Structure 1
Amino acid sequence: MMRHPLFVSALTLALISAAHAATTPAVQTGRPVVQGTQQLDGQNAQVGQTFTIGKQSPLNFTLRSAEYSTGRMLFGDTITFPKADEKLLILHYTVQNPQKREARYYWGDIKFTAVDALDRNHDYVQAVAREGTTDKFEITLKPAQKVDVVTVIVVPAAGPVPKLMVQREENGTPQVLRYDLRAKAKPLNAPFADPEDRSGATAALRVNVPAGKVVPLRYFDVRLDRVTFTAEPLLGRAPAPGRRYLTATFVIKNPLGRDVEYSWGNFQASLKDADGERVEYNQLMLKASRDEKASGTLPRGEEARVRFYWELPETVAGDTVYLTDESGRAYAFDVKATK
């Protein structure tokens, strides 16, 4: 039977088109795929909720609370202490073994990342401790056993930390919990909170310290004991004619789990006088009741009394004594009442 030429041509084109489609990759329509922009899979979580994270060796995780601090945290011999432009985000949580067999838990099993208001990530210190202790922590959990744990993240001093990510990874596959910490993290208290931020989420760069208040430096707890004027020689040198010394006696205490060496180099002590002029640190520290330089070894838990001093005109009173260390966050002690 004869076929019409046009019918043959149409059939040939159809066969060619089908063959081309079979050898040409399909073009997908829809949203483009952009690498590196997709966030990790996870679920939103609330403080106080319990989640099972991990599949091969699951753990039950409960974030119990979060708080801001400008104090020190100890994990064994490691000290975490914030600088002047930093604060700590302390995380209190519970880990429980839901398995029928024993399960290990140590700092690397659950990872913590804080995301600040500028969307910058801050990882935790890669250390944990059992709640209420300072020893580095690792445990083999028996079935159903639970333990309260604490860790810390160093974050910026200014503003809240809106996000926290908690992650457990097995065989390269992460499981993520996402927490909204806005209005959830316990704020800083006076005098450590910046009074201009009513939320209590910003750490003060300069902390005004009331009389008798104990405050932390990196290696020592310190308290102003007394402030006096004297015209007597210090380290064998009398003040210049028409001038006198203002001396500030501090109690320093070793809060660490080991002995600590102390000397003038552990501190930065300066004075603002009643005229508003700053008298810088003379890099000298004396014993509290003897005209001798102070230095030595302070056993754990013990105290020492030391003096700092500055030379002023006889007619000029003191205003504020500032004490800090390598962190740069200054404690300001009002000494205007000193005669």
Structure 2
Amino acid sequence: MDIETSSDPTLLLPDYSTISDSNFTQMLLTLMPNIMNQNEFMELLNHKEILIFIRELTKLVNRFNYSQLQHEQWSYYYNLGMTEGIWNGRVSKKMADANSMCYTYGRSKNLIKQRLDKYKLQYKKAQEAINEHMKKAPISIDMQNLTTMINNLINKDQNQLRLELERRKTMLRLDAEEHRPVEKFYVLKPRQTEINSAKIIWKAINERENIIHEIAIFKKWLAVHAQESTYSLHTEHIAEQTITKAEEIVQHYTKIATIEKNKLQSTKSHHKNADLLEPIIHAIFQRVNNMQQRRENELQAILTNIFKLTPVQHINYQIKRQHD
């Protein structure tokens, strides 16, 4: 689900055409404004032509809102590119593998402009379709209250979609910033020993974050299934052992990164240009901080998609990162 929604956010878009009449009616009733009479509204919904009109209006507003969200999203990308120069970029796969990084990032200017035009046209057409459909509104319907009800329903149902689009904004920036400290590091012309240490540190941190993700997902999975009849004391014991072993691996990778950092700092006394060493170390760990932020955002998205958590429902997935 996480992979699919990352490439196709329409999978997070509610499809009101597949919902039964009774379920659709119930969804509307739960979001009725207080000033509306529920009995009168239910009576209206018993008329097939009125229910069809409302369902079609809901689908049109749903598509309009989606197009607007996407237009706002691509406007953000465009403004980010214009103000901060975050467009598409890439490094060789060999370079990416050596430095534990993605080889592509950002969006091209042409692609962003195409998407802006596409969604601007989409929401204009959707607005026109809504206006045309509203001309068919039955005289017995209070359109102001109905519109409020439909908007409330769609805002609720598109919440996960909005969260996914916000995540993409954050990830675009973090992906781009992931490359900046790496570029800055090499611009400083580090010695080969410093390059080797940087690669070791970045690889260790990358592997550590992978394990932290696995622990977090496993813990949440256990919490979800703990009440099932097949969940026994034996299962719990095995789970605890697994988590303990995984946390030991996390600390192992933390230790590798710490040793390399200490090794770098210990060379300052006999460095040809000691003043250059501090910015080199800073660039290395600026990249480490960005790696952690990026992976934490990824993890929250995975937990949200798999377990339907909201952002305030963070589980305790943080593993103590000693000596970062």
TM-score, length of structure 2 as denominator length: 0.18
As a proportion of its length, which structure holds more helix?
2
